[in-house]
Amino acid sequence: MAPDVVERAEKTLGYQFRDQQLLSSALTHASASDGRLASNERLEFLGDAILDLVVCEELYKTYPKYLEGELTKVKSVVVSRRTCARVARRLDLTSLLRVGKGMAGREQLPGSLAAAVVESCIAAIYLDGGIEPARRFILETMGPHMDKAANSHHHNNYKSQLQQYAQRHMNATPAYEILDEQGPDHSKCFEVAVSIRSRRFPSAWGRNKKDAEQLAALRALEDLELQFDEPPEEDRHDEERQEEE
């Protein structure tokens, strides 16, 4: 990487690397590498787990009165690809990502790529400096999203968001289906998937049917964001308001 790019990346991340090859790998998409092993995909895998750990620990400490289901809902928002993509774009990390010629001319990278660069950078910081600098970066960048998700009613209203999106953009109404249930009668867990038209989205488990449906709706919203690279209408307005502030 060119020295000016390294300097800009380290300033953006708030961390100075001892091993700059880690930073280079974190900012290299498979389309711009000699092979997938030389890209940021393995770092993305590790960064996803580190992000989960740090966010879960912070939520556990910060919201001692939240039950497991409530913590799960908030965590799902914070670590979602949509949130990671927002962080990447707000930090302008996407402009530092090396991509192949087929993607280089795009005005905005897909949400999946934007999210991946945040996770790969988290892993690079962790491997270079340990958990504390990685935790610091995560909390500094994800903290506002964590607070907002915890204190907003939106994290309980995924079904409503999905219904609005489906009716507006797909001219259809989501249908929820119980795929499986486990546990004794007094403490059952349910697996639910949501379908829109003939398309079924990734399923989710919940401690009751209501929680499972909400988490299934979130999975669908995330999948739609990746497919259309466009969050639901409410979220787009919210992003615009944040940028105006």
By annotation, the residues acting in catalysis are 48, 119
Would you list the DSSP string of the chain? Answer: --HHHHHHHHHHHT---S-HHHHHHHTB-GGGSSSGGGSSHHHHHHHHHHHHHHHHHHHHHH-TT--HHHHHHHHHHHTSHHHHHHHHHHHTGGGT-B--HHHHT-SS--HHHHHHHHHHHHHHHHHHH-HHHHHHHHHHHHHHHHHHHHHSGGGG-HHHHHHHHIIIIIS---EEEEEEEES-GGG-EEEEEEEETTEEPPPEEESSHHHHHHHHHHHHHHHHHHHHS---HHHHHHHHHHHH-
